[in-house]
Amino acid sequence: MIINRIRMTDIVVCTIAAILMLLCLIPFLHVVAVSFSNSALATAGKITFIPRGFTLVAYDYLLSQIVFWKAMFVSVERVLLGGSLNLLLTILIAYPLSKENKQLHLRTFYVWIFAFTMLFSGGLIPWYMLIHKLGLMDSIWALVLPSAVPVFNVIVLLNFFRQTPKELEESALIDGAGHLRILVSIYLPLALPSLATITLFSLVGHWNSWFDGLVLMNSPQNYPLQTYLQTVIVQMDTSRLSTLDAEQFALLSDKTIKAAQIIVGSLPIIMVYPFLQKYFVKGLVIGSVKG
């Protein structure tokens, strides 16, 4: 009877998981199909999950734009700079905050200061005015520095550090190791699951962000990819369309280009995620906030 209940529970759980997976996968498959389909069929809403009138003209149009590649470069630069800065500052902040109050005086007070910033902010206008006064407008640093310290990532990592056996640190201190050596040789190797998790959070956050690029970049040539996709490609360049022959023009539409831009914008994260997925759930659970 117990075995039957367990099997029945497994069947129910697997069924629910399969349904949720399909709910996430079906819209993506539809967008892929539209991006490779004839514009007339896509506009008429006759595309489901299989391309009809297969064509690559939407991708040809998208990838032939110089502005697209400039935006791609800005996003890659932002991800590399922002992700590295996020990881470095998260580690340097989480390590001391993971100590006890007797080791770091006012440690609880400092943690509450960081937590306060998760609940309240100065607002959009003061945020913009500060970046403008600092002279960061229309530069890559305007996209990187305001989000340099992701507080949620700090909390995840400091809770992971707090679970590291204290005996390891005590042994290292007895052997004469300093805090920097302890951090690099003991804490970081043990924290790989959490580091992979917060790295993924940072990469996805920087890659998907578009609003700050729209507000802080004065020139469209400095837009990151997601901002470019939100503004420039949606408004199709008619000068480019005029150079296409009649057959290509018939296969190209605003709907197919939008689908193509979604696919191209999603590919980098889709390619990175499998390498971090095995650490993701473990790192998030182990580093979760405890009462």
Cite the DSSP H helix spans in the chain: 2-35, 39-43, 57-63, 66-97, 107-119, 124-133, 140-144, 151-162, 166-174, 179-182, 188-190, 192-208, 211-216, 225-231, 238-242, 246-251, 254-286
pLDDT category at 83 given cuts 50, 70, 90 is very high
pLDDT in tens, 247-271: 555 567 777 888 888 888 888 888 8
- Angstrom distance (rounded) from CA 234 to CA 138: 22
Residue 225 in this model has a pLDDT that exceeds 50: yes
Domains and CATH numbers, the chain: 66-232 (1.10.3720.10)
pLDDT category at 290 given cuts 50, 70, 90 is very low
Q: What is the mean pLDDT of the chain?
A: 82
Q: Which whole-number Å values give the CA distances from 231 to 110, 215, 237, 264, in the listed order?
A: 40, 12, 11, 15
What percentage of the chain reaches a pLDDT higher than 90?
Answer: 18
Q: What local confidence, expressed as pLDDT, does residue 279 receive? A: 64
- Angstrom distance (rounded) from CA 107 to CA 134: 30
Q: Is 120 left (phi over 0), alpha (psi -120 to 50) or beta?
A: beta
